Amino acid sequence: MGTDALADWSHFDHDADIGVRGAGSTLAAAFEQAALALTAVVTEEPVAAAEAVTITCAAPDVETLFVDWLNALVFEMATRRVLFGRYEVAIHQDGDCALEGRAWGETVDRRRHRPAVEIKGATFTALSVQQDADGLWRAQCIVDV
């Protein structure tokens, strides 16, 4: 996770579900920011970077890679009963797209984190991974809650 002055995340409404969006000067930064938005769907409380988990994904295109990345995070959060608060991503685009990522987090503390919802998974609804004319990358999709 570098110092990307353009990095930002946000949510957007979608019926009963919620959209997550990440932006940054690189594709990897946009994926990292979207992951922070994913965590913020669950909790507004700080999450300690106590434990690291390595995540790898491969897909034929960056859009599918983005959904796979978020779903891998959802899987790790559910099976390990953790929340992640820091992310680092490297993306390689040689033919297929590949992602090597690390997520740092801690075991969910229901009193402190006060989880609002459980994320079931990232979807292809409102999926977009694009670089705008100014070079800013944006990655977004709807997550099922």
Q: What is the CATH number of the domain that holds 79?
A: 3.55.10.10
In a domain, 3, yes or no: no
pLDDT band at residue 14 using 50, 70 and 90 as cut-offs = low
Write out the DSSP string of the chain.
----TT-EEEEEEETTEEEEEEEESSHHHHHHHHHHHHHHHH-SS-----EEEEEEEEESSHHHHHHHHHHHHHHHHHHHTEEEEEEEEEEEEESEEEEEEEEEEEE--HHHH-------EE-STT-EEEE-TTS-EEEEEEEE-
Domain that holds residue 89: 8-144
Q: What is the pLDDT of residue 10?
A: 77
Specify the pLDDT at position 2.
57
Give residue 102's pLDDT band: very low, low, confident or very high (50, 70, 90): very high
Mean of the per-residue pLDDT values of the chain: 94
What does pTM read for this prediction? 0.91
In a domain, 121, yes or no: yes
pLDDT, tens digit (0-9, with 9 covering 90-100), for 68-94: 999 999 999 999 999 999 999 999 998
Domain-embedded: residue 2: no
User: Between these two residues, 12 and 38, which has the higher pLDDT value?
Assistant: 38
Alpha-carbon Rg for the chain, nearest whole angstrom, is 14
